[in-house]
Structure 1
Amino acid sequence: METGAVPNPSEKRVAVVTGGNKGIGLEVCRQLASKGVAVLLTSRDETRGKEAARRLHASGLPDVVYHKLDVSDPSSAACLAEFVKNKFGKLDILINNAGVIGATAQIDTTAPLKDVLVGKNATERLQWLLEHSTETYEEAEECLRINYFGTKYVTEALLPLLHASSDGRLVNVSSNYGLLRYFSSEDLKQELNNIEKLTIERLDEMSRLFLCDYKNGQLKSHGWPADAEYLAYKVSKALINGYTRIMAKNFPALRVNSVHPGYCMTDINYHSGELTAEEGAGSIVMVALLPAGGPTSVFFYRYDVAPVL
Structure 2
Amino acid sequence: MEGSIAHPSSTRIAVVTGANKGIGLEVCQQLASAGVTVVLTARDEKRGGEAIEKLKALGLSGGVIFHQLEITDASSIAALAEFVKARFGKLDILVNNAAVAGVEYIQEFDHEKFGGLDFDKRLEWMMTNVLETTEAAKETLQTNYYGTRNVIKALLPVLLLSSSEGRIVNVSSEFGRLILISNEKVRQKLNDIDNLTEEALDELLDKFLKDFEAGALEANGWSSGFAAYKVSKAALNAYTRIMARRHPALRINCAHPGYVNTQMTMSTGVLTPQEGASNVVKVGLLPQGGPTGVYFAQGQEASFL
- The normalised TM-score by structure 1 is 0.94
In the alignment, the residues of structure 1 paired with residue 117 and residue 263 of structure 2 have an alpha-carbon distance, to the nearest angstrom, of 19
Aligned with 1:267: secondary structure? coil
Structure 2 match to 1:264: 260
In the alignment, the residues of structure 2 paired with residue 116 and residue 122 of structure 1 have an alpha-carbon distance, to the nearest angstrom, of 15
Q: Deviation string for 1:57-100 (max 9, x for gaps)?
A: 12100210000000111221111000001100000000000001
Equivalences for residues 106-117 of structure 1 within 5 A? 106-107=106-107, 109=108, 113-117=110-114
- 8 Å CA contact retained: 1:265, 1:276: yes
> How many percent identity over aligned positions?
52
Letter in 1 for 2:120: T
- 8 Å CA contact retained: 1:117, 1:272: no
Q: Which runs of 5+ in 1 are unaligned?
A: 1-8
Structure 2 match to 1:102: 102
Structure 1 match to 2:5: none
Equivalences for residues 53-72 of structure 1 within 5 A? 53-62=52-61, 63-72=63-72
Structure 2 match to 1:169: 167
Are 1:205 and 2:235 matched, yes or no?
no
In the alignment, the residues of structure 1 paired with residue 268 and residue 289 of structure 2 have an alpha-carbon distance, to the nearest angstrom, of 37
Deviation, 1:214, is: 0.6
Aligned with 1:170: secondary structure? strand
In the alignment, the residues of structure 2 paired with residue 158 and residue 10 of structure 1 have an alpha-carbon distance, to the nearest angstrom, of 18
Deviation, 1:174, is: 0.4
Q: Deviation string for 1:212-257 (max 9, x for gaps)?
A: 111112222322223xx10000000000000000000000000000
Are 1:31 and 2:30 matched, yes or no?
yes
Moved over 3 A (4+): none
Q: Deviation string for 1:190-221 (max 9, x for gaps)?
A: 11001000011211221121111111122223
2:120 aligned residue (123, 133, 147): 123
In the alignment, the residues of structure 1 paired with residue 133 and residue 153 of structure 2 have an alpha-carbon distance, to the nearest angstrom, of 29
Are 1:290 and 2:286 matched, yes or no?
yes
Structure 2 match to 1:307: 303
Count, aligned residues: 296
In the alignment, the residues of structure 2 paired with residue 162 and residue 236 of structure 1 have an alpha-carbon distance, to the nearest angstrom, of 24
Name the Cα RMSD after superposition: 1.2
